[in-house]
Structures are given as structure tokens and as C-alpha cells.
Amino acid sequence: MSANRHLGRIISLQTLYEVAFREVCGDKSVNADEVLKRNISRYQAELDDKSFIVNLVKGVIKEEKKLDETLQPIAPEWPLDQIAKIDLCVLRLGAYELLKHKDVPPKVVINEAVELAKSFGGDNSSKFVNGVLGTLLKQLDKSSDETSKKKVSKK
């Protein structure tokens, strides 16, 4: 299953990157659903869980603005428009999974994002992705601890 999820993340990243790239190039006709459908169909035989991929892609696209608002303060010296598109797509994908997929262990999410960055990004992409997502995880853990303490103190 994890190998299948890894492939699912690759397909999700390819889809998100193609959509982002075409939008930057001024392609107003880019349709994320069509790109997603085409990319899934290429790997039809190897996939068990297409819904995982659909959920990731549609979720990242729907939450893109919120994800960017979450990511930007974590890497303030790197404005999002200056981050390589592939790295930004990896970060959005990883952040979305950390925030929305509580069934996936956070360390797995970060490791997968780092692997994607190694495979598709530049020389320093994996370190950058690891640092940003690691900081996000610490922030989430801290806010989760504070929420737990508030619940305990109310009892």
C-alpha cells in the first residue's frame, strides 16, 4: 500500500506541477480535472486507490491560498513566488497532508515530501522541504499541545 501511495503522491505532484506551470505560462484553458484524469490513466494498472490521488490534488487546489498563508511565515526569506514551482508544489502537497490527513503519520508525510523533492527538485530542494515541513509539524504539535492543555484545565 505504501508503494501505491508513493506513486499516488508522484502522480499528484505531476498534476499540480503541470497545472501550475501552464498557469504561469498564461494557459487560461488548463483544466486540473483533465490533467488529473490523464495522469491517473497513465498508471491505471499500478493503482489501487485513485481516490487518494483525487483527494490530494483537489484538496491542494481548493486550499492553495490557505496553504500558502500557512507556508509563507515559515520561510519568510523565500517569498512563495521566488520558490521553484516544483518545490512549492511539493510543499503544498506535504502541508496539505500534514493538515488534513491525520491518518498518515507526520513523519511519513515529511519523508515522502523529501523523497519527492530529491527526485524532482534541485540540489537543495530536499533540505528546504524538510526544514519547512519540519517547522510546520512543530507548530502543529505546539498548537495541539496547547489545545489539549486548555481542555484539561476546563475540566
In this predicted structure, what is the pLDDT of residue 49? 85
What is the per-residue pLDDT across 78-90, written as a single tens digit (0 to 9) for each?
Answer: 899 899 999 999 9
Q: What is the pTM of this model?
A: 0.90
**With 0-12 CB in 10 A as exposed, 13-18 as middle and 19+ as buried, what is 31?**
exposed
Structural domains in the chain, CATH included, are 2-150 (1.10.940.10)
C-alpha cell belonging to residue 112: 515522502
Phi-psi group of 152: left, alpha or beta (phi > 0 → left; psi -120 to 50 → alpha; rest → beta): alpha
Place of cell 493538515: 99
In this predicted structure, what is the pLDDT of residue 5? 93
In this predicted structure, what is the pLDDT of residue 154? 55
